[in-house]
Structure formats: structure tokens, C-alpha cells
Amino acid sequence: MNIRPYQTKDEEGWLRCRVLAFLHTAYYDDVYQKKPTYENPSIELVAVENGQVVGLIDVEYETEIRTVCAACSSLGGMIWHMAVHPDFQRRGIGRQLLTEAEKRLKANSIVQMEAYTRDDAWVNNWYRKNGFHEKSDYLHVWIEGSELQGVIESTAEHLKPQICFAHYTGMHPDRIKTKFSRVHECRCYRKNIETK
């Protein structure tokens, strides 16, 4: 297996790896048809085995504090995408991608990392095991069908909302969890990158 910088020719493999890695997680419907690009400098790595993208990490990093990260107290890097193909999980590929990204961040004077993830226990455990600490959380809420009544209405004539995705940052998360059928906790993690 080879970990190297992402190349344009990797896009289809990047997309396939990400969608398959997310398929059985709380992010199962977070699908892209095109790989995102970033406004700030970024570290975009892929793990490749026999010509197949089997893992990926994208980290956008700051040149000015709090332009990318919300929880970092110094220059930080945001993990926007992290995935390992399900057929290649539990082989340390995610850890190797993270280690290489950290090495490259340090070379650019970035000393903290930030990541957000939903409530899949194994994913949260992976972040904790790899030195991340939870800083905050909020809710991702899908509002569909009859749940929309009295919550979301259109002001455009003949336009009827069918699905709404929302963030809830209030003080009563239990009310939201009981009112709507699909609610996920979204947790913010931060890690200090060792500079030794």
C-alpha cells in the first residue's frame, strides 16, 4: 500500500471509496458526485493498493486563526473527509493517513486539528483512540413528511417542502430527539499535534 498526495486522476476512486466507507454509518446519504476543492491550503492524501484508492484524508488548514477551524486556539487544520474502503478497514490505514497528514501539517506550522463526526460509536472511539478530545456537540436533524407541518413552510406558491436538513444548537436536545425521527449528534473533536 502506498500513501501519496491526491491526484486529479484519483477522483472516481476517491468518490467510490468515500461512499462505500460511509454506507453503513450515520453519514450514509452524504454522497458527492465531485470531489470538493478548498479555499485555503490543504493536504489531500490517498492510500492506494494495486491501483485502487482504499483510503483518503482531506485536511484544509489555516494561515490565519479561526478562518477554517472553530475549536482550535492556534493555527489549525480541519479534517473534512476521512474514509477507508470497507474491504480494507482494520488494517491501520486510517491511522497511517492521519500520521502522514499530521507530519505535513507540522511542516506548515499547524499545531492543532479539528474534526466533526456523527454518533457512530466506532468512529467516535477511533478519534479518541487517536488523541482527539471532544470539544462540543450539536444535532443534525432531518425533518420529513408530516414532521414538516408547523415547522417548515414555503412562501413560494405551489412549492411544498418534502425534506429539510437542519442544525440544532439549542439547550433542549431531548425535545428535538423525541419530536423528529432522524436526529444525530454531531461531535467536534480537537487534537494537539505533537511538535517533538
> Which pLDDT band, with edges at 50, 70 and 90, does 194 fall under?
confident
**Coil, strand or helix: which one is 163?**
strand
Average pLDDT over residues 98-122: 97
Average pLDDT over residues 35-48: 98
> What pLDDT, on the 0 to 100 scale, is given for residue 74?
94
> What pLDDT, on the 0 to 100 scale, is given for residue 184?
97
- Report whether pLDDT(29) > 70: yes
- At 139-153, the pLDDT tens digits run 999 999 999 999 999
Complete edge-to-edge strand list for the sheet that includes strand 2-5? 2-5, 42-49, 52-61, 76-84, 112-117, 182-192, 133-144, 163-168
Q: Enumerate the β-bridge partners of residue 83.
A: 56
> 115-119, 129-133, 191-195 — which is least confidently predicted?
191-195
Average pLDDT over residues 105-128: 97
- Alpha carbons 172 and 58: distance in angstroms, whole number: 33
| % of residues, the chain, pLDDT over 90 | 98
Q: What b/e string do you get for 154-187 counting C-beta neighbours within 10 Å, with b at 16 or more? A: eeeeeeeeeeeeeebeeeebeeeeeebeebbebb
> What pLDDT, on the 0 to 100 scale, is given for residue 25?
96
- Report how far Cα 160 is from the mean position of its chain's Cα atoms: 30
> What pLDDT, on the 0 to 100 scale, is given for residue 96?
98
- Report whether pLDDT(177) > 70: yes
- Report whether pLDDT(196) > 80: no
Cell of 185: 449528534
Global confidence as pTM: 0.94
> What pLDDT, on the 0 to 100 scale, is given for residue 66?
95
- Report whether pLDDT(85) > 70: yes
Domain 2-131: give its CATH architecture.
Answer: 3-Layer(aba) Sandwich (3.40)
- Report whether pLDDT(195) > 70: no
Question: How do the domains of the chain map onto residue ranges?
Answer: 2-131, 138-183
